[in-house]
């Protein structure tokens, strides 16, 4: 790896890019996911649109981020991301909580969706009446949020994100060491990936996982630009990050987990990918804090994360919650070494 910029300089050049943990859909709309490749909207389409195509936090400012235009692209759809301005007023941000009727639980409207790994247990349910910012699919009492697709990359790269989320503090809290192997799940356009790559050094490796090829393409451009050699790109699926068993020291998910379409399956695969004693870090907006300006389904409480992550089959145990970020908490779990031995003996 040939990185000649210290951490603070990278932060100046790179605003945080967070990816997605499920197949992309329209941003914050109740439109179901499609297997058809999305086409980013043109400027004219955005100006004339009456739909909310912005992500879930505030207005999307104009951006001239150099990393979205670092070199001429043969892919017009990627260039369109860089040239798109998002400066419409957002009438939905103030209404953090949906109307009561939107959250009404009507038993007759519930349908069951079984996990692929268990044909008898209704792990997921679907409701016709639900928060419009969610997909209508529920897991352990929580509605799964809509995913922001690659069309929002410009917003994810915004310069204000360091001030809002203090990425420098996140890096310190992770306490990454040279030689570690870290999986950035939902890596998006890769700002977090690049910062972690510097910290683990040339003897370490960052595995950037995303289900959206367009996001991985943007990250690939950055890797070429900075001649970074210790990052591996992996295209996952909505049920698996496609990682080798016991191959990583840490998996980190920044504002990603709550959007997983199949959180149980993803956690099962992630737990298998952890080395004995490895860790998983959830970085999620604090549900406990009503002042955090994020829509309800994009928040998670510590209690809810623990409920979902401490299922026995994952072999994870709660380590700590780190509350040093302005809007998010970092919730860390460790893989019990005994669970690895048990899985080997089965």
Q: What is the pLDDT along the chain (346 residues), one digit of tens a residue?
A: 444 455 545 554 444 334 434 344 333 333 333 333 334 444 343 333 333 333 443 333 333 332 222 233 334 433 433 333 333 333 333 333 333 333 333 333 445 555 444 455 689 999 999 999 999 999 999 999 998 787 777 776 777 888 888 999 999 999 999 999 999 999 988 989 999 999 999 999 999 999 999 999 999 999 999 999 999 999 999 999 999 999 999 999 999 999 999 999 999 999 999 999 999 999 999 999 999 999 999 999 999 999 999 999 999 999 999 999 999 999 999 998 776 555 555 5
| pTM listed for this prediction | 0.69
Pairing of strands 181-185, 205-210: parallel
Split into its structural domains, the chain has a count of: 1
List the domain range (segments joined by +) for residue 298.
1-346
Supply the pLDDT for residue 207.
98
The SS3 assignment for 227 reads coil
State the number of CA atoms in the 13 A half-sphere of 40 facing the CB. 24
The two tokens of residue 134 are 């969610």
Contact 199, 179 (CB under 8 A): no
- Per-state percent for the chain, helix, strand, coil, to nearest 5: 30, 20, 45
The two tokens of residue 232 are 């591996």
**Any idea what the CATH number is for the domain that residue 32 is in?**
3.40.50.150
Supply the pLDDT for residue 322.
97
Distance CA 125, CA 237 (A): 21
């Amino acid at each position: 790896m040939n990185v000649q910029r210290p951490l603070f300089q990278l932060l100046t050049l790179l605003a945080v890019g967070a990816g997605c943990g499920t197949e992309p859909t329209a941003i914050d709309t109740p439109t179901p996911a499609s297997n058809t490749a999305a086409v980013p909207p043109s400027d004219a389409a955005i100006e004339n649109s009456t739909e909310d195509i912005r992500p879930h936090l505030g207005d999307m400012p104009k951006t001239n981020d150099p990393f979205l235009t670092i070199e001429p692209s043969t892919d017009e759809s990627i260039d369109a991301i860089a040239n798109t301005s998002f400066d419409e007023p957002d009438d939905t941000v103030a209404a953090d909580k949906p109307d009561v009727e939107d959250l009404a639980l009507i038993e007759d409207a519930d349908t069951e969706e079984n996990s692929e790994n268990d044909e008898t247990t209704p792990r997921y349910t679907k409701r016709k009446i639900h928060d419009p910012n969610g997909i209508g699919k529920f897991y352990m009492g929580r509605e799964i949020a809509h995913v922001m697709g690659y069309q929002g990359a410009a917003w994810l790269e915004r310069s204000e994100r360091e001030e809002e989320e203090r990425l420098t503090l996140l890096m310190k809290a992770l306490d990454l060491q040279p030689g570690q192997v870290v999986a950035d799940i939902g890596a998006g356009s890769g700002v977090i990936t690049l910062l972690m790559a510097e910290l683990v050094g040339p003897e370490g490796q960052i595995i950037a996982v995303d289900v959206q090829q367009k996001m991985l393409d943007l990250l690939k451009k950055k890797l070429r630009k900075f001649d970074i050699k210790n990052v591996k790109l992996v295209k996952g699926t909505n049920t698996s990050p496609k990682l080798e068993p016991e191959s990583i020291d840490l998996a980190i998910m920044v504002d990603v987990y709550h959007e997983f379409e199949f959180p149980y399956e993803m956690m099962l695969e992630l737990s298998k990918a952890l080395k004995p004693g490895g860790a998983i870090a959830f970085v999620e907006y604090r549900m406990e804090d009503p002042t955090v300006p994020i829509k309800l389904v994009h928040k998670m409480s510590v209690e809810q994360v623990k409920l979902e992550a401490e299922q026995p089959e994952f072999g994870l145990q709660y380590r700590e919650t780190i509350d040093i970020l302005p809007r998010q908490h970092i919730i860390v779990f460790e893989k019990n070494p005994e669970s690895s031995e048990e899985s080997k003996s089965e």
